[in-house]
Amino acid sequence: MARHIRNMDELAKAMQPVLLKMTDQLADRVYETLNYFILDYYKGYEPSSYQRTQDYLQSAIKVDAHPYKSGVRATVYIDYDSLNSYGVSGHQVAKWSNEGTHGGMEVDHKPPCMQDTMDMTVDNGELLRLAVDHLKSKGFSVRT
C-alpha cells in the first residue's frame, strides 16, 4: 500500500524502522570484520617476552542501532577500559595493534586491525553496497 509523505518529519518516521535494521546489519559486518582481524593478529604471533592477558580478543564492542538526532546510529569500537596490559593504557594496546606491533615490538606478522577493518568494509565500498542492497530489497529506488 502506498503511503503519502507530506513532510520531512513523516519521511524520517517512515524510514526509521528500515534504517534501524540496515544500520544494525552494517554494524554487524564491521564488528565481524574487526573480530576477524583481531583473531588474525593473535594467531600471527606468539610472544616470548610477555604473557598475554587475552583481553584484546574480547575488546571489540558493538552497540546496536538506535535513533540518533535526525537519523540512526550504531557504534563499533575497541573498549580500551577492558584492556589490562601491565601498566600500558588500553589505548596504547589498540594503537600498537593498528601499527602491527605486538606489545610495541616489531614482528613479521603485522596486520593493522582497525585499518584493515576500515579497508574491508568502508574504503572498498562494501558497506555502501550492503546499504543499497538492503534499501532496494525494501522497495526503495536507489541510485549511486
SS3 of residue 50 by DSSP: coil
Would the pLDDT of 3 be above 90? Answer: no
Residue 32's H or E segment, with its range, is helix 8-43
**DSSP strand E in the chain: where?**
60-68, 71-78
Would the pLDDT of 1 be above 60? Answer: no
Residue 144, domain member (yes or no): no
The per-residue pLDDT for 80 is: 87
The per-residue pLDDT of the chain, averaged, comes to: 85
* Residue 5, all three cell numbers: 509523505
Confidence of residue 110 (pLDDT cuts 50, 70, 90): low
The per-residue pLDDT for 134 is: 92
Range of the domain at 108: 21-137
- Integer-rounded Cα radius of gyration of the chain: 19
Indicate if the alpha-carbon torsion angle 49, 52, 57, 63 is positive or negative. Answer: negative
Q: In sequence order, which residues have a C-beta less than 8 Å from that of residue 42 and are 6 or more positions away?
A: 52, 56, 57
Would the pLDDT of 128 be above 60? Answer: yes
Would the pLDDT of 101 be above 90? Answer: no
Q: Bigger pLDDT: 58 or 64?
A: 64
Confidence of residue 111 (pLDDT cuts 50, 70, 90): confident
Residue 93, domain member (yes or no): yes
Residue 143, domain member (yes or no): no
Spatial separation of the C-alpha atoms in residues 25 and 110, rounded to whole Å = 29
Residue 72, domain member (yes or no): yes
pTM of the shown model: 0.83
Residue 76, domain member (yes or no): yes
Spatial separation of the C-alpha atoms in residues 114 and 64, rounded to whole Å = 19
Confidence of residue 24 (pLDDT cuts 50, 70, 90): very high
Would the pLDDT of 52 be above 70? Answer: no
Of 137, 123, 101, 109, the closest CA to residue 30 belongs to 123
Structurally, how many domains does the chain consist of? 1
